[in-house]
A and B are shown apart, each in its own frame.
Chain A
Amino acid sequence: MNFNRRSFLKTSAVSFGAALASPSLIPGRAAAAGEIDVGVLFSQTGGLSIIEKSLADATLMAINEINAEGGVNGMMIKPIVEDGASDPKTYNEKASKLVIRDRVPTVFGSYTSASRKAVLPVFEKRNNMYFYPTYYEGFECSKNVIYTGAVPNQQLSNFIPWIVNTLGKKKFFIVGSNYIYPREMAKVSKILIEQEGAEYVADEYLELGHSEWGAMVSKIKDSGCDVVLSNVVGDSVVAFYREFKNQGITHEELPICATVTSEIEIQAMGAEFAVGSYTSFPYFQAIDTPQNKAFIERYRAFVNDPTAVTHHALESSYFQVYLWKQAVEKAGEATPDAIREAIKGQTFDAPNGKVTVDPENLHTYLTPRIARWRADGQGEIVDAYPEPIRPLPYVAYGETSDNLFCTAAGLDSSKL
């Protein structure tokens, strides 16, 4: 064994530190033998809790299932649940607590980009792993995050050509909430719209949480567009779809094609306001496979609500725990570095189909799908890719599968 002075000093320092960190001094220390602690960090309270609670539930359900089948390498997973309180600052504090005090090797968490950006420094500085289940705007290449939600190319590269070619729409009205996700989505959309030989007549934004849509919908009506591409987020979605119908526009003549409107929003607005509109996501509750049906049933039993809906970020919250489990099993140990190396190329049969972690950018291969909303609040899948497609977080800046900006070596910023 190659033993030198420096590594000896390091080891003694570490063991000295470990001795100090006795259970009486620091509660909730590293896992007991036969257990692996993991962090589960979603908002249990505050404005985002309605959605984030369902993500936490899906994460805990996956952990329960894995434990029931004997755990990971014979060790039980012990979730440490923290509340991000819909507040990025709280997210940062709780992430520090999980990483520094509880010394978990992995945290599953976040719904909004704001909360992910807030915890990112913690995971990069302490070299820990964060599993992020939500579709987001891309433009990130962290080696400490595994991204299991869709990036813009997985929601739009199928959607825009389909709108132009199948629906025969040529004039887009792009509308979104005023922050980074809708603006990046609009950027990618414009590239694709131009590629397809269509045009966009407007690109408009409203404040997040805005609920007075009278003027905007009237503008849409007068713009001469034949399709609306909506990147509207949160409870504004409800007001938007309701105003759309109240002003007498039908989705038959002028459909809303959305990238955020999921089963949750449809339930909140009342399904009759969305009938005939479209959404693009890799997962819908309506996916007609035995695996998905069983998944929905297990989820409903787990949360004890026979009418609970499942949606894209929820499904990602669920399968990413299994990807993590496979990585830990392959690595044989639960340390952040080992998990990162082992998860590259991991494949899992998720409710939406096969998912694979890209070895280069640590995002996930997903299958783009388009659904048309029905009167019962469920989507009817009208288009789906035959297979999962590669995630390209920098597609808005010209990234392609042959010319990756984000690789295992990090971000090549010269290409931006």
Chain B
Amino acid sequence: MSEILFIGLSLSSILLLIALGLSITYGAMGVINMAHGELVMIGAYTAVLSGIYLNINLFLALPMAFLVSALVGLALERLVIRRLYGRIIDTLLATWGVAIILQQLIRLEFGLTFFGIHIDGLGPGLQNMAVPAFLTQPFELVGLSIQPYRSFIILVTVLLTLLTWFLMYRTSMGMQVRAIMRNPQIAAACGIDVRRVSAFTFAYGSGLAGIAGVLLAGFKTVMPDMGASTVVDGFLVVVVGGVGSLLGTVLASVLLGQINGIFALLTNDILARAVVFAVVIAIILWRPRGLFAFRTR
């Protein structure tokens, strides 16, 4: 029984990891960021490349990936999204295009393949990130077999969730973000620099995606289109949880992860996936705005 719950929990933590960044960019800012998966992918490649060239391990790769993805996110906000606030469908199309461009940049090694230059760690192939040995060897604790890597993911996810909660609800910056979420015009009238705060918020959400990428790289193959499948799961969680609600995102990922885990063990993974989608549809029918919703802009 505890094993089933653990698998569900680890599935939940991965869902939450992806959805956390998304709940900020989509939830708080009303941007359907289709490039979120590519920011995850960039985080994973940051880990692979820093492993090859800087010889640094997973733990140092986490802040690196946060910075790289946050910078890419900041550039994305400045160049594209800033011009599209309030046009939710347009952001979907624009960021989808950005997603394809980012994928191809990695695949074509920033265009260097045209000149016959190959950068180790980039290109269309499969890459992998080394995981420190002590994170792959399970150990016994009070009769339970503990899987260190999955536990590590759960731990990081919990810490990031707490950090995000703190930033959003206990700092003045977070208060400004929440004010903008409710009504950007009034927030601006109160003297909040909406553009600056939005840019930072988007960069932070993107940075979280980068961290998710590093952790995913530990048990998934790193390749240019790895992000495309993860972003769907992220949106499921955010929509079920209620757009803009941190608590809703957390609960939705726990719920969907556990359903997935339990059904995967009792039947099989393919059926479990179908059950998850059925639950999502039922919840959306029952509560169109998600489990925890409030009025957004």
Which A residues form the contact surface with B (CB < 8 A)?
45-47, 49-50, 178, 204-207, 209-216, 218-219, 235, 238-239, 242-243, 245-248, 268-270
A206 to B272 CA separation, bound complex (whole angstroms): 11
**B186 → chain A closest CB, angstroms:** 43
Instruction: Give the residues in chain A near B7, CB-CB below 8 Å.
Output: 214-215, 218
Which of B53-61, B78-86, B261-269 interfaces with chain A? B261-269
Q: In the complex, A50→B107 CA distance in Å?
A: 11
Roughly how many angstroms separate A178 CA and B225 CA in the complex, as a whole number? 20
Say yes or no: A248-B11 contact (C-beta < 8 A), given A50-B125, A215-B264, A219-B265.
no
Contact pick for B272, options A205, A211, A215, A247, CB 8 Å: A215
Q: Which residue of A lies closest to B272 (CB)?
A: A215
**What CA separation (Å) do A239 and B218 show in the bound complex?**
9
Give the interface of B toward A (CB within 8 A): 3, 7, 10-11, 14, 124-128, 130, 136-138, 145, 147, 149-150, 218-221, 223, 225, 229, 261, 264-265, 268-270, 272-273
Between-chain CB contacts (< 8 Å), 5 pairs: A210-B269, A211-B220, A215-B265, A246-B147, A248-B145
Which one of B128, B218, B269, B273 contacts A216 once the chains associate, using CB atoms below 8 Å?
Answer: B269
**Contact call A206/B128, Cβ cutoff below 8 A:** no
B124–A268 CB distance below 8 A: no
B221→A235 contact, CB < 8 A: yes
- In the complex, the chain B residue whose C-beta lies closest to that of A211 is B220
Extra contacts besides A50-B126, A210-B269, A246-B138 (8): CB < 8 Å: A46-B124, A178-B270, A211-B220, A214-B11, A215-B264, A215-B265, A219-B265, A268-B127
**Which of chain B's residues has its CB closest to A265's CB?**
B126
Complex: how many Å from CA A237 to CA B126?
11
Which 6 pairs show the lowest CB-CB distances between chains A and B? A215-B264, A248-B138, A268-B126, A235-B221, A238-B221, A50-B125
**A214: chain B residues within 8 A (beta carbon):** 7, 10-11, 150, 261, 264
Find B221's partner among A207, A211, A243, A247 (CB 8 Å cutoff). Answer: A211
The residue in chain A whose Cβ has the minimal distance to the Cβ of B145 is: A248
Complex-state Cα separation, A205 to B149, whole angstroms: 25
A178: chain B residues within 8 A (beta carbon): 270
- Cα A45 to Cα B104 in complex, Å, equals 11
A8 to chain B, nearest CB (A): 54
Distance in angstroms between the alpha carbons of A176 and B138 in the assembled complex = 25
B147, A45: Cβ atoms under 8 Å?
Answer: no
Choose one: B130, B221, B270, B273; the contact of A205 (CB below 8 Å).
Answer: B270
B269 cross-chain contacts in A, Cβ below 8 A: 206-207, 210, 212, 215-216
The smallest beta-carbon distance between A213 and chain B, in angstroms, is 8
- Per the bound structure, the CA–CA distance linking A203 and B127 in Å amounts to 30
- Residue in A45, A239, A248 whose beta carbon sits within 8 Å of that of B219 in the complex: A239
Contact of B225 among A47, A205, A210 (CB under 8 A): A47
Question: How distant is the Cα of A247 from the Cα of B139 in the complex, in angstroms?
Answer: 10
Measured between beta carbons, the chain A residues less than 8 angstroms from B128 are 238, 268-270
Residues of A within 8 A of B221 (CB): 211, 235, 238-239, 268-269
CB distance from A307 to the nearest CB of B (A): 10
A219 cross-chain contacts in B, Cβ below 8 A? 265
> In the docked arrangement, what's the CA distance between A166 and B239, Å?
54
Q: How far is the CA of A243 from the CA of B269 in the complex (A)?
A: 15
In the complex, which of the residues B3, B127, B130 contacts A218, with contact meaning CB atoms closer than 8 Å?
B3
Contact at B268–A239, with CB atoms within 8 Å?
A: no
**Nearest opposing residue in chain A for B269, CB measure:** A206
Complex Cα distance, B273 from A239, in Å, reads 18
Q: Pick the residue among A207, A211, A270 that contacts B130 (CB under 8 A).
A: A270
Q: How far is the CA of A268 from the CA of B123 in the complex (A)?
A: 13
Cβ of A245: which chain B residues have Cβ within 8 Å of it?
Answer: 136
**Docked complex Cα distance between A205 and B267 (Å):** 11
With a 10 A CB-CB cut-off, give which of A212, A218, A268, A269 has the most chain B CB atoms. A212
A217 to chain B, nearest CB (A): 9
Contact residues in A for B137 (Cβ distance below 8 Å): 248
- Contacts of A211 on B, CB cut-off 8 Å? 219-221
* Chain B residues in 8 Å Cβ range of A218: 3, 7, 265
Q: How far is the CA of A204 from the CA of B127 in the complex (A)?
A: 27
> Which chain A residue has the least Cβ–Cβ distance from B263?
A215
**What is the bound-complex CA distance between A206 and B271, given in angstroms?**
10
A243 proximity list for chain B (CB < 8 A): 219
Q: CB-nearest residue of chain A relative to B229? A: A209
Residues of A within 8 A of B14 (CB): 212
Contact of A246 with B136 in the complex, beta carbons under 8 Å: yes
Q: How far is the CA of A64 from the CA of B215 in the complex (A)?
A: 44
Min distance, Cβ A182 to any Cβ of chain B, angstroms: 13
Residue of A213, A216, A268, A269 contacting most chain B CB atoms (<10 Å): A268
List, in ascending order, chain A residues with CB within 8 A of B218's CB. Answer: 242
Tell me, in angstroms, the Cα distance from A147 to B125 when the chains sit together: 27
Q: Which residue of B lies closest to A243 (CB)?
A: B219
Cβ contact within 8 Å between B136 and A216: no
CB nearest to B120 among chain A residues: A307
CA distance A230 to B149 in the complex (A): 24
Name the A residues within 8 Å of B273 (CB-CB): 207
Most buried by A among B128, B145, B219, B270: B219
Q: Which residue of B lies closest to A213 (CB)?
A: B219
Q: Is B220 in contact with A205, judged by CB distance below 8 angstroms?
A: no
A248 — nearest CB in chain B belongs to which residue?
Answer: B138
Question: Chain B: which residue is nearest A219 at the CB level?
Answer: B265
Question: Which A residues are in CB contact (< 8 Å) with B220?
Answer: 211, 235, 238-239
Q: Which of B125, B127, B150, B268 contacts A246 (CB 8 A)?
A: B150
Give CA–CA (A46, B224) in the complex, Å: 10
> Which residues of A have CB within 8 Å of B219?
211, 213, 239, 242-243, 246
Chain B residues with Cβ below 8 Å from A207 are: 269-270, 273
Nearest chain-B residue to A204 (Cβ)?
B268
Residues in B with CB closer than 8 Å to A242 are 218-219
Q: Are A45 and B270 in contact (CB under 8 A)?
A: no
Minimal beta-carbon separation of A254 from chain B (angstroms):
14
B253 to chain A, nearest CB (A): 14
Q: Compute how far the CA of A300 lies from the CA of B269 in the bound complex, rounded to whole angstroms.
A: 40
Residues of B within 8 A of A247 (CB): 138, 147
Give chain A residues whose Cβ lies under 8 Å from the Cβ of B264. Answer: 214-216
Identify the closest chain B residue to A202 (Cβ).
Answer: B268
Residues of A close to B130: CB separation below 8 A: 270
A357 to B149, CA, bound (A): 49
Report chain B residues within 8 Å CB of A212: 11, 14, 269
From B126, B225, B261, A215 is in contact (CB under 8 Å) with B261
